Chain A
Amino acid sequence: MTRFRLPTWFVLLLPAIIVLVAVVLIPLVLSLYSSFTPYRLTRPESLYKWIGTFNYEKAVKSAHFWAAFGRTVLLLTIALNLEMLMGLGLALLVNRVTYGQRALRTLMMFPMMFSPVLVGFQFKFIFNDNVGLVNNALQSLGLTDVAIPWLVDGKLAFMSILAAEMWSSTSVFAILILAGLFAVPRDPIEAAKVDGCTPWQSFRHITLPYIMPFIYIALAIRSLDVARAYDIVQIMTNGGPARRTELLWTMIGRTGYVDAKMGYANAMGYISIFLAIFFTIYFFRKLNAARTELGMAG
């Protein structure tokens, strides 16, 4: 008599799968369903009314939605690229240090300990137009005598949010890229020097290809939880003033909880989920490609 046995790997993965199905997948299925209904928190019976793709059409036709969508993609693109470049710069700076590097590395991780919501409050405070650190500094130095409305003007508020987001995440890139720099073999660089390569050439053709996988790991990790920027934006401006810094996430939150239009909010939520999944898969693919180039795939 042979008994059917589940393969070991499946048994081992089962707890993870159960938790993820219960907490992520089932709610997402529910949210997919409710996005086809006019569900409002205040009227539970509206969950059973099917209205087809009305919510999605409404979102697609809404100028506010596209403005928020564009702003989100813009913020993500600028933030991820700048964080990557500045992280690379920081890693290269720290990598050159010979004395006290450990201390510097530890110092570099300082912003990683700040909860995003804390970063939000902190930069709301720093960019406050009346008592904020930035305006106080500018005024004390005599560079300006008017209070710059950092969080009130649309463009400035976008820049302030970008600054907060970059402050909190650049070090993630720097730390991971630094780990990559430690792994770069010395010999090819020495050989290139002997062959008369300029520092830039040996960086471009030897160091960079080696640290590329590390850059993509950092990008993949960041794209996985890039929506944490929601915390920062929600605290700093909450999409305001007058929707000038509205991102998809703040718009979804407000539509769902303040206006109580859950169905419509879920429809927009789905669009944002696909955006996040697109970014994640894109970077995982890049990561695999970079790995294959180095012959590390397996």
Chain B
Amino acid sequence: MNENLIHRLKGHVLKVLHLFALFIAMSIICIPGLWVVLNSFRPTVEIMAKPPVWIPNDLSLDHYRAMFGAAGEGGVPVLQYFTNSLIISLTSTIIAILVGMAGGYAFARFKFRGKAGIFIGIMITRAVPGVSLSLPLFIVMAKTGLIDTHLGLILVYIALNVPFTIWLIDGFFRQVPVDLAEAAEIDGCTRWQAFWKVEFPVARAGIASAGIFAFLTSWNEYALASQLTRSTFSKTMPVGLRDFTSEFTINWGGMCALAVLMIIPALILTFIVQKHLISGLTFGGVKG
């Protein structure tokens, strides 16, 4: 066998190994999620069957129909939870973005003493574990009457999201050349006009992706919501998942259907902004 052939063979083997490893990795990533989606279309009897039914033979929309029915499946008011989640996530995201834009702009464009310290200080508030924060928040909110209200959870989520939105938006403003705004100011814009007319449009896509990141955090948050909400008036969907569990049994089918309902908005939003999200996180960090 000549050397050329050996070399080529080695290349082929490596290529096959690479594809094989990739296939295994992607299967591990996808199967647990797809399993949930599949189960939302199967009757609970089939999910729980022993011996297992591998090839589903009875796909239906029963769980979804029950979920959107008047009382919801097993009396779980899914639509109410969905509305709560939507109101809370949207409001807190919009406010967090405005606050984050102000903060991110301050970090990107101004030099001041203790900048690094303040930045780390703001970031650290995010590191406080939700469950440790929920204990004192529970006491404060119980005293101020904010417990079990939309407003209470909105406030909490704004605070939860502000550090990340500042980090991301700071990164996006840094990518906008300073000269651009300066040129606008020379041409007679005020700083305020220069911001809205020049810098904001350039960084807009990035800011939108920071918004989606914030939205997803609020949409998926559980540790704080599970303690600060009590009734159907303010429970969000992650907390609502628990309604499908009773002491000894779990309604897997219904839960999977709610899970799919939770994932769909996340799926759509993430696909829209994936490119910006990555560049925001990395440039904010690397060049910060």
Contact = CB atoms under 8 A, between A and B. Distances in A.
Interface of A: 7-10, 12-17, 19-20, 22-28, 30-31, 34, 89-90, 93-94, 96-97, 104-118, 121-123, 125-126, 130-131, 133, 136, 139-140, 167, 171, 175-176, 178-180, 183, 213-214, 216-217, 220-221, 223-225, 227-228, 230-231, 234, 249-250, 252-253, 256-257, 262, 265-266, 269-270, 272-273, 276-277, 279-281, 284, 287, 291, 296, 298
22 contacts: A12-B102, A12-B105, A16-B122, A27-B139, A30-B140, A93-B25, A94-B22, A113-B263, A115-B220, A115-B262, A126-B32, A133-B35, A136-B51, A139-B51, A140-B54, A213-B285, A250-B131, A252-B132, A262-B139, A269-B129, A280-B123, A280-B127
Contacts of B136: 27-28, 30-31, 34, 266
Interface string B98-119: 1110110110001010000010
A13 B118 contact: yes
Nearest to B220: A115
A106 B132 contact: no
Contacts of B205: none
The 7 tightest CB contacts between A and B, nearest first, are A115-B220, A227-B129, A269-B132, A23-B159, A27-B136, A31-B136, A217-B285
B222 A296 contact: no
B266 to A, nearest CB: 4
B252 A224 contact: no
B94 interface: no
Contacts of A107: 26, 29-30
A234 B129 CA distance: 14
B125 A20 contact: yes
A281 B220 CA distance: 26
Contacts of A28: 128, 133, 136
A27 B216 CA distance: 25
B76 interface: no
B122 A114 contact: no
Nearest to A17: B122
Interface range for B: 35 or more
A31 B159 contact: no
B120 A262 contact: no
B29 A108 contact: yes
Given A16-B100, A16-B102, A116 B220 contact: yes
Contacts of A140: 51-52, 54
Given A16-B166, A19-B155, A96-B18, A131 B32 contact: no
A113 to B, nearest CB: 4
Interface in B134-189: 134-137, 139-140, 155-156, 158-159, 162-164, 166
Contacts of B50: 130-131
Contact of B133 (A27, A115, A277): A27
A24 B29 contact: no
B259 A15 contact: no
Contacts of A26: 140
A250 B263 CA distance: 26
A231 B222 CA distance: 7
Contacts of B166: 16
Contacts of A228: 130, 223
B103 A31 contact: no
Nearest to B19: A97
B130 A223 contact: no
A179 to B, nearest CB: 5
Given A23-B137, A26-B140, A272-B132, A224 B123 contact: yes
Given A230-B223, A269-B131, 12 more contacts: A34-B139, A96-B18, A118-B220, A121-B255, A122-B35, A131-B48, A176-B278, A214-B286, A224-B164, A231-B238, A272-B129, A281-B120
A20 B156 CA distance: 9
Contacts of A24: 125, 128, 133, 159
Contacts of A12: 102-103, 105-106, 110
Contacts of B162: 16, 19-20
A291 B120 contact: no
Nearest to A90: B25
Contacts of B26: 104, 107-108
B21 interface: yes
Interface string B4-35: 00000000000000100110011011101101
